[in-house]
Amino acid sequence: MQPRRWQQAWREAVRDPRELLALLGLRELAQDVSDAAAAQFPLRVPRAFVARMRHGDPSDPLLRQVLPLDAEMRPVPGFGLDAVGDGAAKAGQGVIHKYQGRALLVATGSCAVHCRYCFRRHFPYAEETAAAGGWAAALDVIAGDPSIEEVLLSGGDPLSLATPKLAELTDALRAIPHVRRLRIHTRLPIVLPERVDAELTQWLRSLPWPVVVVVHANHANEFDTDVDTAMQALRDAGAVLLNQAVLLRGVNDSADALVALSERGLAAGVLPYYLHQLDRVAGAAHFEVDDATALSLHASLVARQSGYLVPRLVREVAGDASKRALTGVDHGRNRPPVA
């Protein structure tokens, strides 16, 4: 079969740190690049995303998310390999059932972009995907537990699977009466907007459930007109669009950057959902923002923006029944008593 246009763009991704730096006029940064970090988790970034980086800017917020640096290889106490307890929450091959009512399918291990802060950089997802073996194990878990009303496709990036493979899953899910919602967690519409093609939107339109697409952008500069077009196509197909971001030092750790992210998202039809405190995964320590700073940034967002533009600041804690809010205790402290 002919490869789709998005599959071609996928294959043409930049994979050599030196090529990336040359494209950006930043050859002198090569001395900070770590071959060891790149060997552990290779650089991968689609050319459409590279095009949104600022030429000649070593601290570009998009570049910092993908460039393998020496800092990653320094061991830092408290930063380990399975930061979020996924190893313990497996319910079957490629299924993670941690939270009431929702089962997460690790649809695939592949991503179009490799984000240096990602907790999945050490997880052996390649052997443990739900798509392997025609989704059978995942379908067994879901069919056997009537409390599962929502199926989350995650990964890796679930939209890295070809659309017919996704349709295979949803065709089988239709036969499970307790499934009522579908959620897709994906960074592809941001980093490789070509992925949102007619075949994908036709599939989305055909689904019998409300569909929520949670995209992942950390900085306003990740949006451009191609991303706008992709978002519009997803909305036209009936999907509700939300964004999750990770709070990252040197990328979006200022109130201005976070305000701009929410506003730019809204212009594309995407509302903020979560702002995650970093998972403490080995290699990502240099991105961490301490909780006091995170809380003060969040307070500035609350003070400056409409409520719907403020994401929930959360952290994932192994063993918790949901994402844990960092805020909440002090909410309403200054509110007059309700009569």
Q: How far is the CB of 269 from ligand PLP (least distance, A)?
A: 19
Residue 114 interacts, among ligand PLP, ligand SF4, none and using kind-specific CB cut-offs from 5 to 8 Å, with ligand SF4
HSE (CB half, 13 Å, CA atoms) of 61?
Answer: 19
Choices 7-15, 98-106, 139-147, 276-284; region in contact with ligand PLP by CB under 6 A: 98-106
Residue bearing tokens 């063993």 = 319
Q: How far is the CB of 89 from ligand PLP (least distance, A)?
A: 6
SS3 211: strand
Q: How far is the CB of 310 from ligand PLP (least distance, A)?
A: 16
Binding of ligand SF4 at residue 183 (CB under 6 A)? no
Q: Are 53 and 60 in contact (CB under 8 A)?
A: yes
User: Which sign does the torsion angle of CA 55, 271, 184, 276 carry?
Assistant: positive
Binding of ligand PLP at residue 276 (CB under 6 A)? no
Binding of ligand PLP at residue 99 (CB under 6 A)? yes
Residue bearing tokens 């730019």 = 264
CA 134 vs CA 4, 22, 233, 243, 274: distances in Å: 21, 42, 28, 29, 31
Binding of ligand SF4 at residue 219 (CB under 6 A)? no
Residue 235 interacts, among ligand SF4, ligand PLP, none and using kind-specific CB cut-offs from 5 to 8 Å, with none
Binding of ligand SF4 at residue 111 (CB under 6 A)? yes
Q: Which of 192, 204 has the CB closer to ligand SF4? A: 192
Burial class (CB in 10 A: 0-12, 13-18, 19+), 199: middle
- Near ligand SF4 in 114-133, by CB under 6 A: 114-115, 118, 120
